[in-house]
Structure 1
Amino acid sequence: MQKTINYTLFGKKLIYIGFLLIGLQSIAQTKAKPNVIIIYTDDQGSVDLGCYGASDIYSPNIDQLAKQGTRFTQAYVAAPVCAPSRAALLTGKYPQKAGVHGNTSHVMGSDGMPGEQYTIAELFKNNNYKTAHIGKWHLGMSKKTGPNAQGFDYSFGHLRGCIDNYSHYFYWAGPNTHDLYENGKEVFYEGKYFPDLASDKALKFVEDHKEHPFFMYYAINMPHYPYQPTKKWREYYKDVEKPRGDYAAFISTIDERIGFLMDKLDALGIREETIIIYQSDNGYSTETRAFGGGGNSGPYRGGKSSLFEGGIRLPTIISWKNTLPKNRVNNEFLMNVDWLPTLANLCELKNIPKDIDGLDLSQMIKNSNSALPRKEAFWKYGNQWAVRKGNWKLIGYPKDTSHKGKLDATEDALFLSNLSEDVSEMKNLAHKYPQKVKELTAAFLQWEFGYEDDVPKKVEIIEHLGKSKKIKSIKELHKKYKNIDVLLDGKRGYKDFRSGQWVGQEGADLAFVIDLKKTQPITTIHLGYLQDPTNWIYPPINFEVSFSKDGTNFNKTTVSNSAIKTTKKGSLTGKLSIATRQKARFVKIHINGFGKIPKNYEGEGNNGWFFVDEIIVE
């Protein structure tokens, strides 16, 4: 006979209260860890916020975020362009170790950051956090390298580097392609303003997970071109000269949406439970599509694509209201790779990866008097590289995309600065402090990705039959590269296609005729070339030569060897050669271009570039 248990009303209440207490305890345990939001803006200048001294930009919400936390003055990113900077942030590694040397391909299905990389999202997810990516990805077009495969439970945004904010099409390399995805599935919101779509998705994610710890990577694709601020902010800056006006309006558009996020956190009562980091991915753009600028690097030289300070030293804030110090300016040296271990320690996460380059700065952030863990940092992008050790910084093959001053390709190939004395980097101290150059060069070479071939060598003049002779093009030159006299100046070019020492062509061939002034024996022709995959530059397929004594009747063409090595990564120079026995005054050279870049190479599907420097006639 089954025994019947009769609960009294009092007993039922006790049981109910017991379950309630257990439930509340469970919720309390679930929420014991803070939420984390990383706001990563795109192509924002070093001083382009009110809290960083910009008097012509209205950014009250971000400025308030700085007052509620710490604003850094020496915060760096690990690369001066979008994709490798993001790879460094998400993995805590230098981009080279993360497998992202430059911007990733826009071609659908192409791989980006290798799937085996362990990301900050995976770390938080493995510690019972809900994770989200909102906004820009730019780290792979294949399923295995997309956001959902890299630790994000939820993802909404575009996979390529930028989109039109209303049509959501990627227009910058044909064919024009729609680029808006939610959890890997293409979605359509024709005519709806992308910053608002992203903001709405971010607010919904926060609200849906208010009772569970979450990590959100909010990758805001502003003020990256196309400059498409809202009408409200365009009107606000109507009297500011363009492109500064449109750029500033875009910053205020960002600020307003960050205000929406802060209001949501306050309304949900979780602002004090949420760590917020704000940082730009690289300096402001001076590209044609950005109308040559709009941003401001303030006292710093350089912008996007440059390893001068203006390309990598950027607005950075951390705020954890009522837990971390507030209204503090921190002048210590840090890098975006440091956020992974720092956040892991602030959130008391388990199983923090060991094979990373980031350093835990949590004690330095909590207490400005604590010892600074970071003493040095390294950068490498294309043929540029830099090392900072203490206050000294050395750049190899520097580029000034801010155009604040001239650089001599030979004299400034190694550029030394003391940042404690001059943050402008306008004066090269390399000749004044040769021992410091040697010390920093040695530090670079000891770095895992620093190679002897990266270090500029003294330019030696090559004496040959064609040096300083007459050369003319018999095919259309690229409009940016018509300085064909450099092909016979006796100098091999540095590993920098922008140095003025190279002649380039995109998706087509080049052809020249050299006049040696008199008929003479010729035994060898060499053609110097550059390879720089991060800029979609590959060796020519080969070159062909024919010879003439009168400049009219040329003999049968001879084909050179092909490039010895066409690598997917890394920058190098090389030579193609032809051995011959001729007597001639005129030499005709036809250089066969790389054409379309094949699959799994940087820039796949686009027209490949090739760059040549010296045509050596022996």
Structure 2
Amino acid sequence: MLAVPLVFSTCSSTQKTAHRSKKVNILWLFGEDIDPWMPVYGDSTVVTPNIDFLAQNGVTFTNCFSMSPVCSPARSGIFTGAMPTTIGTHNHRSGRTITKRLPSHVQVVPEIFKQHGYYTFSEGKDDFNWSYNWDDYWSGSYTEKKHFGKSGTGSWKNRKDGQPFFGVIELYGGKNNKKPASPISPDKVKVMPYYPDIPSVRQQIADHYNQIKVTDGEIGEIINELKKDGLYENTIIIFFSDNGYKLLRDKQFLYDAGLHMPMIISAPGNPKLLKKSGVREDLMSLLDLTATTLQLAKIKVPEYMESKDVFEKGYHRDFVIAARDRCDFTIDRIRAVRTTQFKYIKNFMTDRPLMQLQYRSHKPAVKAIFKANKEGIPFENEWLSDQRPAEELYDLKNDPFEVNNLANDPNYASKLKELRGILDQWIVSTNDQGQYPESKEQLKAVYDRYGERCINPEFAPFRTIN
């Protein structure tokens, strides 16, 4: 009489163990160049039902800030769990036409997942600032452009039956040229005080809202595909971006508009995978995506990583560090310390204006801003000056658009000293690689690509040669 219950008990225990040991799928929805102009972040200009759905079934981080305001250093940090300035991946699009390797101790997220039996795929660009073999990280095929790097064409559909996956799907976001069914009109948007209220600026802002609507629709399609393939109940979805939208003072610069990221971690098919929901308002570095992702898959975080698990008990950041170095042919070095209320910015290269020649300088929308400034159209325009302050300090609570520099205000002298000290100590403790010149080989590669646009003095030796 006791044998039957014993058999059932053993079978039930085995089933439970098998269920518990099933590895979770992790899917990164990488929204390139996307600002958090969404209802879940308090902006109701457009509706985003699918992003809202992820938020309702997960955790929304309202104060996530990138470590870099441009794609390749940000991605190089996200995929290694190390600050780009620590491992030498801080200069935009380096290691493309010359050979450049990561430090030997550094591991890459898909590489780690492969070691744990995961199928890994990438659908979209990598944009890593080092040289690598595709098959070491990803399954599936890829294409490659000389200066832009490798882009994957992978999918979870090609894995072995039952094999867990770690996948990255590129949502082209702020670079998406598709139009939503009902686009928002430029006259319905608000213009930031640091831009002139002119048609081209309004159009760019409206374009980005429409790109967010398109991105939201793409997220809905991906969720439906997960359901169709029977993967929805065992997949954690993480939606985020790398840097801000392409507006002139935003992308590539260390103001919040270039660094403030959407970040939603969700398990809509099975809340038990995450066991957490709601809104988190504490400071988060985008770098922390790495450790958090590994821990969600129950994978040990390598000791070298500067990334932290946001769900670990006691998680806390007093500040987030951000860095901007060479972007394309424009050489610069800027660092920022961001706390809950204050932003400190250090401009190391005050011999050149903030808006020195860059990849966007020839574009009509950029020229229109300079023209408006010259014609005296009123807006907060100090960032267009030929003179550049060595330090900037902003009270984000009272000045969210960062237009009132308090660095020379004696009432804020102690705060300035405090944040300056934090940055100085961080530079020393991490051996910030931005304090050293870029290699002659890499600078020559940049010069060979951009030629006469390389006006910074660092390129002078190559102009002489040519």
Scaled by the length of structure 1, what TM-score is found?
A: 0.56
Q: CA deviation at 1:409?
A: 6.4
Higher-helix-fraction structure = 2
Q: 1:406 aligns with which of 376, 382, 390?
A: 382
1:102-141 C-alpha deviation (Å, 9 max, x unpaired): 221596x434663743111122122221111110122258
Asked if 1 retains the 8 angstrom alpha-carbon contact of 2:241 and 2:261, the reply is yes
Instruction: Tell me, yes or no, if structure 1 residue 359 matches structure 2 residue 316.
Output: no
Alignment match, 1:137: 126
Structure 1 partner of 2:102:
114
SS at match of 2:174: coil
Structure 1: any 5+ residue segments left out of the alignment?
1-16, 163-178, 183-197, 288-301, 365-370, 456-494, 496-530, 534-565, 570-596, 614-618
Query: In the alignment, does 2:203 pair up with 1:213?
Result: no
Partner of 1:425: 402
Task: Tell me which amino acid in the other structure corresponds to 2:266.
Answer: S
Do residues 320 (structure 1) and 267 (structure 2) align?
yes
Question: Judging changes above 3 Å, is the alpha-carbon distance between structure 1 residues 180 and 441 closer, same or farther for their aligned structure 2 residues?
Answer: closer
Q: How many residues align?
A: 393
Correspondences of 1:152-167 after superposition (within 5 Å)? 152-154=138-140, 156=142
In structure 2, distance between residues paired with 1:285 and 1:99: 25
Letter in 1 for 2:132: T
Of 18, 23, 27, 1:33 maps to: 23
Distance of 2:398 and 2:111 partners within structure 1: 41
Paired AA for residue 233 in structure 2: E
* SS at structure 2 position matched to 1:237: coil
Q: 1:257 — aligned with what?
A: 218
What's the offset of the Cα at 1:355? 0.9
Match of 1:68 in 2: 57
Give the secondary structure class of the aligned counterpart of 2:78. Answer: helix
- 8 Å Cα contact 2:174-2:246 kept in structure 1: no
Q: Is the 8 A contact 1:92 1:357 kept in 2?
A: yes
For residue 483 of structure 1, what is the aligned residue in structure 2? none
Change in CA separation of 1:437 and 1:246 when aligned onto 2, cut-off 3 Å: closer
Instruction: State the distance in 1 between where 2:111 and 2:51 align.
Output: 28
Please say if 1:598 is aligned against 2:437.
no
Provide the rounded CA distance (Å) in 1 between the counterparts of 2:433 and 2:114: 39
Query: What is the CA-CA distance between 1:68 and the residue it aligns to?
Result: 1.1
Shift of 1:283: 0.5
Q: Identify if the C-alpha distance between structure 1 residues 112 and 363 changes in structure 2 by more than 3 Å, giving closer, same or farther.
A: same
Query: Map of 1:124-523 to 2, 5 A cutoff?
Result: 124-139=113-128, 144-149=131-136, 151-154=137-140, 156=142, 201-202=154-155, 204-205=157-158, 208=159, 211-224=162-175, 227-230=176-179, 233=180, 235-237=181-183, 239-240=185-186, 242-286=203-247, 302-321=249-268, 322-323=271-272, 324=274, 328-350=278-300, 352-363=301-312, 371-382=314-325, 383-389=333-339, 391-397=341-347, 404-407=380-383, 412-430=389-407, 431=409, 432-448=411-427
- 8 Å Cα contact 1:105/1:603 also seen in 2: no
1-structure distance, mates of 2:262, 2:174: 13
Partner of 2:375: none
The CA deviation string for residues 180-236 of structure 1, in whole angstroms up to 9 with x for no partner, is 865xxxxxxxxxxxxxxx6xx53635xx45622211122333322xx5205xx2x52
Question: 2:414, 2:72 → 1: CA distance?
Answer: 35
**Which of the residues 83, 89, 92 maps onto 1:103?**
92
TM-score (norm 2): 0.72
RMSD between aligned residues: 3.9
- Counterpart of 1:43? 33
Structure 1 residue 92, shift from structure 2 partner: 0.7
* Aligned residue identity for 2:265: I
Q: What runs of 5+ residues in structure 2 fail to find an aligned partner?
A: 1-6, 188-202, 326-332, 349-353, 356-365, 370-378, 459-466
Distance 1:336 1:130, change over 3 A: same
Seen in structure 2, the aligned counterparts of structure 1 residues 243 and 445 have a Cα distance that, compared at 3 Å, is closer
| Structure 2 counterpart SS, 1:362 | coil
Could you tell me how far 1:79 is from its partner in structure 2?
A: 0.3
Q: Is the 8 A contact 1:89 1:340 kept in 2?
A: yes
The answer to whether the aligner puts 1:610 opposite 2:452 as a matched pair is: no
Q: Secondary structure at the match of 2:213?
A: helix
Give yes or no for contact 1:91–1:356 (8 Å, CA) kept in 2: yes
Structure ID, larger Rg: 1
Cα separation, 1, equivalents of 2:295 and 2:20: 18
